[in-house]
Amino acid sequence: MRRSRPGRTDGVFRLLTTVPALLVVGLVAAIGVVLCLDARLSIAAFGAGFWTRTDWDPIAGQFGAFPFIWGTLYSSGLALLIAAPVSIGIAVFLTDVCPHRLRAPLVFLTELLAAIPSIVYGLWGIFVLVPAVRLLQEALPPRIRALPLFEGPTVGVSLLAAALVLSVMVIPYISSVTREVLRAVPRHQWEGAYALGATRWEATRVALRYARVGIVGAVMLGFGRAVGETMAVTMVIGNSPQASWSVFAPQYTMAAVIANEFAEAVEDLHLHALVEIGLVLFTTTLMVNVASRALIWQMSRDRRRRLAQCPVAAETP
């Protein structure tokens, strides 16, 4: 019997789908290449020093990105410190504790957080959250406000405001992936714990321990989101390129400096310095995403198809 050759399956169809498929793969490669090319002047001029220098002066042609990296890591880290426990709590509540009838509406509401545009978070941040942060700072006793962590004038726009907005924005991502991961914990893990007389919390702890790798992945995914978030952060962080330990100090992030200065950068070096920041943003989120996906895949291989999407789209059948 003759085996059908691959050429038999109609070539036109294959071509029709292969070209767009190549395009999708090429797009990611193109982003990397374009960013590298357009950052070359800055890479050549400053080398590795770009990341440790603290002066950012477009007029003098001096570009050091440390304050932006600092602000990005600090605000995202602080946001995760708030969002991770809350998201895990939400996931536990929705998988295990929640009465059946409440589950669907609560899932819907928590995922609604992901559907709200970043600019709306930013607007709300400027006019509601920032004044609230100022009030909080004024209400703190002087002894606490003297600490390096809380020092500085009461301006409102601050690292803390950015971290708070970010934490709300990443909660739906972390909680929805954590929920998936918890659901992938084999039923017998819970049942075994209950059979041994465990309380609900003890059984949950067994499940959380079983799912810990996936949960770390979920939190990292949230970190990737937080690092790349632009508008809401730009609007509330104060945009001041001064690295500081104080959560009440106005600071700056990598995404924010690109948003603010890119359209107005006239000098090539300035432009290239901004693109280099974009390049690092790209590589960071790339690595974080790859690592977190690897962890989540490892945790729940059979559910991998639904995980890749945003929480809202993940509900699509």
Partner 1 sequence: MPRDLRRRLVSTVMTSLSALSVLVALVPLGLLLFFVAVQGAAAISLDFFTQTPRPVGEPGGGMGNAIVGTLILCGTAALIAVPIGVLSGMFVVEFPQSPLAPAVRFAADTLNGVPSIVVGIFVYAIAVEPTGGFSAMAGGIALGVMMIPLITRTTEELLRLVPASLREGALALGATRGRAVLTVVLPAALPGIVTGVMLALARVAGETAPLLFTAFGNRFWSTDLTEPIGALTLQVYAYAISPYDDWHRQAWAGALVLLALVLGCSLAARAATRRLERMHR
153 to 172, contacts with partner 1 by CB under 8 A?
168, 171-172
Instruction: Please report the DSSP string for 26-37 in residue order.
Output: HHHHHHHHHHHH
The dihedrals phi and psi of 87, each to the nearest 5 degrees, come to: -65, -40
User: Is there binding between residue 267 and partner 1 (CB under 8 A)?
Assistant: no
Report how far apart, in Å, the C-alpha atoms of 7 and of each of 3, 14, 272 are: 11, 10, 47
Span from 8-16, 44-52, 144-152, 241-249 in contact with partner 1 (CB under 8 A): 8-16
User: Is there binding between residue 285 and partner 1 (CB under 8 A)?
Assistant: yes
Q: Tell which positions 22-41 bind partner 1, by CB under 8 A.
A: 22-25, 27-28, 30-31, 34-35, 37-38
Task: Find the shortest distance in angstroms from Cβ 41 to partner 1.
Answer: 14
Q: Tell which positions 55-94 bind partner 1, by CB under 8 A.
A: 85-90, 92-94
Span from 48-56, 57-65, 133-141, 226-234 in contact with partner 1 (CB under 8 A): 226-234
> Which helix or strand (DSSP H or E) is residue 290 part of?
helix 268-299
Task: Find the shortest distance in angstroms from Cβ 144 to partner 1.
Answer: 23
Task: Find the shortest distance in angstroms from Cβ 74 to partner 1.
Answer: 17
User: Is there binding between residue 262 and partner 1 (CB under 8 A)?
Assistant: yes
Burial class (CB in 10 A: 0-12, 13-18, 19+), 225: buried
User: Is there binding between residue 54 and partner 1 (CB under 8 A)?
Assistant: no
Rg value, the chain, Cα: 23
Whose Cβ is closer to partner 1: residue 246's or residue 258's? Answer: 258
Per-residue contact flags (x/-) with partner 1 for residues 165 to 204, judged by CB under 8 A: ---x--xx--x-----------------------xxxx-x
Question: Among 162, 231, 273, 295, which residue sits at the site for partner 1 (rule: CB under 8 A)?
Answer: 231
Count Cα atoms within 13 angstroms, Cβ side, for 172: 20
Report how far apart, in Å, the C-alpha atoms of 245 and of each of 76, 149, 189, 251, 293 are: 14, 5, 43, 10, 32
The dihedrals phi and psi of 251, each to the nearest 5 degrees, come to: -135, -160
Q: Tell which positions 90-149 bind partner 1, by CB under 8 A.
A: 90, 92-94, 97, 106, 109-110, 112-113, 115-124, 126-128
User: Is there binding between residue 268 and partner 1 (CB under 8 A)?
Assistant: no
Whose Cβ is closer to partner 1: residue 232's or residue 246's? Answer: 232
Task: Find the shortest distance in angstroms from Cβ 119 to partner 1.
Answer: 5
In three-state secondary structure terms, 148 is: coil
Q: How far apart are CA 198 and CA 188, in angstroms?
A: 13
Question: Among 5, 7, 9, 301, which residue sits at the site for partner 1 (rule: CB under 8 A)?
Answer: 9
- Within 8 A by CB and 6+ apart from 295, the residues are 213, 214, 216, 217, 220
User: Is there binding between residue 47 and partner 1 (CB under 8 A)?
Assistant: no
Q: Which of 132, 208, 212 is nearest to 165 (CA)?
A: 132
